[in-house]
Amino acid sequence: MLYQLSVLVLVVPLIGGILAGFLGKTTGKTFTNTVTIFSVLASFLISSYILYTILNQPDLIFNQNIYRWLEIGSYSFNIGLLIDNLTASMMVVVTFISLMVHIYSIGYMHDDPGYHRFFSYISLFTFAMLSLVMANNFLQLFFGWEAVGVMSYLLIGFWFTKESAIKANFKAFIINRVGDMFLLLGIALLFSLSGSLDYSTVFSSGPMINNQLFFITENLSVSALTLACILLFGGAMGKSAQMPLHVWLPDSMEGPTPISALIHAATMVTAGVFMLARMSPLFELSESALSFVLIIGSITAITTGLLGLVQFDIKRVIAYSTLSQLGYMVVAAGVSAYSASLFHLMTHAFFKALLFLAAGSVIVALHHEQDIRNMGGLRKRLPVTYTTSLIGTLALIGFPGFSGFFSKDALIEAVAHSTVYAHEFAYYCVLIGVFVTSLYSFRLLFIVFHGPLSEHNNNVQEPQLSIVLPLILLSIPSVFVAWPTVGPMVFDSFFSNSIVQPTSIELFGYEFTDSLHFLTHALSGPVTYIAISGIGVAYLFYIKQPEIPNKLALTFKPIYKLLREKYYFDYLYENILAKFFSSLGNSLWNLGDIKFIDNYIVNGTARKIESLSNKAQLLQSGYIYHYALMMMLGLSVFLGWVIINKIGMAS
């Protein structure tokens, strides 16, 4: 029963997407949004039912192959489903956010000529993301991984007449390719070591793999498992936009805002974090891999947060915030607190989707204005958007009582109690990150909604219901979702059937009793004070004395320039790496392809045959007596050969 329902969850958005894509243009907007919204709604309801069922009857969890796709020798590759607590909770989060975004898009995309295309894409994206999450083997994971990448590519470049959008989707696609290559190598390595792609087989042979060495050269070897884990994490670095593969995410804001909320904040970019949790039985065996994860995560968390301070595009600020929060999730995975990582993933999905959709609401209200310098004082004109943004922002900075507080506090607590290499570095990074987060979040909030209302924004008004409704629906979980869930999900054994991690006492050094008690924890740790001081500084900088930031920018000009230029990553990639590779490609093309293959092998064969046949043509005089002579000569040579052989045999 549960099995059929799970298949249904997966298939329904696919059908919805296909119907909307092929029939949408002829049948009109109502058909398009009805069919896709109802398919995603159905998917969401069934997912919730599945989660509810397996919470009550944990023995219903299953890992089953649906279909044998391919068989090579003794290896078989299956399409299968693995439904456990991790999968089920991800399914609910993905389908819920997707549903909100579908509803929101009715209003946001209303006048767009690509209406049906858009709905088709986001439904197909939902299908792809679900198949990534529900996979029971690496092959299907990889399929989902690539499929979400394709949908992301199509949606970033949704307005394909805009040059910047085309460049952004190219960038996203190419940089994701780099990560995907690592992922594929990791999968291949695991396959060669364990002989299977099924999660259960690979995980059970983990300890055996751990003892094997991988020889890079004759004398240089590394632990095969560590290498495999780092390669898998390389894939996560691409998809979850970790340093130094993060550059595509801010540019992906060229896509429509609902996409930024759905794909580039709530779901797809968290695929890497999801994968880390899924692979926890492997990562737990390799301390070096965990340290690597931790270091990359902490660098991402702090550095990208700083970039959010100097951006003026409303969506880019939130994009950098997403990067920084992804860094937090990766840090949590690095200290083995996968449950905290996933919990932050879930709360972040709600409040970041909320923040993006609120930003979209502002953008619609101001007729597609995205520069925050042209905003200000909008709180009186857009009260609902303001309130929901405030809720999202408070949740983002981890203000006590909001969902973000529970996830972030648990996460930082886990870092504080970690013993992994580089945990101290990570701890300071995440603490500074908290300050930076609240500074840029409130900078955005103050600049957009407070201050004087400018003249041309005087008759701005709240957008239509389908835009405002998802904001309200999302702000509810942004506040409350953590209250009942933090105990079981982070500290208790909710994920024990899907994730391998140390006990919560070892991880957090904290005995969880109830959520209210956990709230008092805010007073004892530094996190809340740091967050509130961030708000204070933001208030001082952007409301009380707005000239301070400019002065600071002038005083620390090199630092400001470094931040404005995003640490010169784009410069490095464009002018050094891309140039190097394109000149390498060009020279290979000129030397290898044009000169060698085309000129030598392809055309060379033809030329040689032509010159040989020109020579052979000389024999063809056309005179009968020449041909007759040839016949005679041939005959005598042949006869001579026979005779000589005969003589040789006789003697």
Partner 1 sequence: MLTLQSYLTLGAIIFSIGVIGIVINRKNIIIIMMCIELLLIAVNFNFIAFSYFNQDLAGQIFVFFILTVAAAEAAIGLAILVALYRNKKTIDVQELNSLRN
DSSP-based three-state secondary structure for 63: strand
* Min separation Cβ 623 and partner 1, Å: 5
Cis peptide before 244 (omega within 30 of 0): yes
User: Whose Cβ is closer to partner 1: residue 217's or residue 613's?
Assistant: 613
* Min separation Cβ 632 and partner 1, Å: 6
∠ CA 417-504-489, nearest 5°, is: 120
User: Whose Cβ is closer to partner 1: residue 56's or residue 614's?
Assistant: 614
User: Whose Cβ is closer to partner 1: residue 73's or residue 622's?
Assistant: 622
* Min separation Cβ 609 and partner 1, Å: 19
User: Whose Cβ is closer to partner 1: residue 588's or residue 628's?
Assistant: 628
Tokens representing residue 19 in the block: 């119907």
User: Whose Cβ is closer to partner 1: residue 216's or residue 628's?
Assistant: 628
Binding mask 562-601 for partner 1 (x = CB under 8 A): ----------------------------------------
Burial class (CB in 10 A: 0-12, 13-18, 19+), 253: buried
Contact 142, 198 (CB under 8 A): no
Q: How far apart are CA 270 and CA 264, in angstroms?
A: 9
* Min separation Cβ 634 and partner 1, Å: 13
User: Whose Cβ is closer to partner 1: residue 554's or residue 624's?
Assistant: 624
Closest alpha carbon to 16 in 134, 127, 152, 129: 127
* Min separation Cβ 640 and partner 1, Å: 14
C-alpha distances out from residue 51 to 45, 47, 121, 222, Å = 10, 6, 26, 41
* Min separation Cβ 635 and partner 1, Å: 10
DSSP state of 567: G
User: Whose Cβ is closer to partner 1: residue 67's or residue 625's?
Assistant: 625
* Min separation Cβ 646 and partner 1, Å: 17
DSSP state of 198: B
Q: Which is it for strands 221-223 and 213-215: parallel, antiparallel or unpaired?
A: antiparallel
* Min separation Cβ 630 and partner 1, Å: 10
C-alpha distances out from residue 217 to 193, 214, 220, 603, Å = 18, 9, 5, 40
Q: How far apart are CA 359 and CA 378, in angstroms?
A: 12
User: Whose Cβ is closer to partner 1: residue 216's or residue 633's?
Assistant: 633
User: Whose Cβ is closer to partner 1: residue 628's or residue 644's?
Assistant: 628
User: Whose Cβ is closer to partner 1: residue 1's or residue 618's?
Assistant: 618
**Judged by CB under 8 A, how many residues of this single chain contact partner 1?**
10
Dihedral over Cα of 201, 203, 208, 211: its sign = positive
Binding mask 235-274 for partner 1 (x = CB under 8 A): ----------------------------------------
Which 129-148 residues touch partner 1, going by CB under 8 A?
none
Which 490-529 residues touch partner 1, going by CB under 8 A?
none
* Min separation Cβ 638 and partner 1, Å: 15
Residue found by looking up tokens 């990074």 in the block: 429
Q: How far apart are CA 21 and CA 581, in angstroms?
A: 37
Tokens representing residue 170 in the block: 């190219």
Tokens representing residue 553 in the block: 């920018």
Binding mask 604-643 for partner 1 (x = CB under 8 A): ----------------xxxxxx-xxx--x-----------
* Min separation Cβ 616 and partner 1, Å: 13
* Min separation Cβ 617 and partner 1, Å: 9
Tokens representing residue 174 in the block: 């190419």
Binding mask 18-37 for partner 1 (x = CB under 8 A): --------------------
* Min separation Cβ 587 and partner 1, Å: 46
Tokens representing residue 204 in the block: 């059970």
* Min separation Cβ 644 and partner 1, Å: 18
User: Whose Cβ is closer to partner 1: residue 484's or residue 640's?
Assistant: 640
Q: How far apart are CA 320 and CA 302, in angstroms?
A: 10
* 282-301: b (≥16 Cβ within 10 Å) or e: bbbbbebbbbbbbbbbbbbb
Length of the chain: 651
User: Whose Cβ is closer to partner 1: residue 503's or residue 636's?
Assistant: 636
User: Whose Cβ is closer to partner 1: residue 588's or residue 632's?
Assistant: 632
User: Whose Cβ is closer to partner 1: residue 161's or residue 620's?
Assistant: 620
Under 8 Å CB-to-CB from 191, ≥6 apart: which residues?
A: 138, 197
Residue found by looking up tokens 């008004």 in the block: 461
Residue found by looking up tokens 């391919």 in the block: 70
Under 8 Å CB-to-CB from 482, ≥6 apart: which residues?
A: 343, 347, 402, 403, 404, 405, 406, 407, 515
DSSP-based three-state secondary structure for 461: coil
Closest alpha carbon to 578 in 163, 255, 167: 167
* Min separation Cβ 639 and partner 1, Å: 12
Which residues are near partner 1 by CB under 8 A? 620-625, 627-629, 632
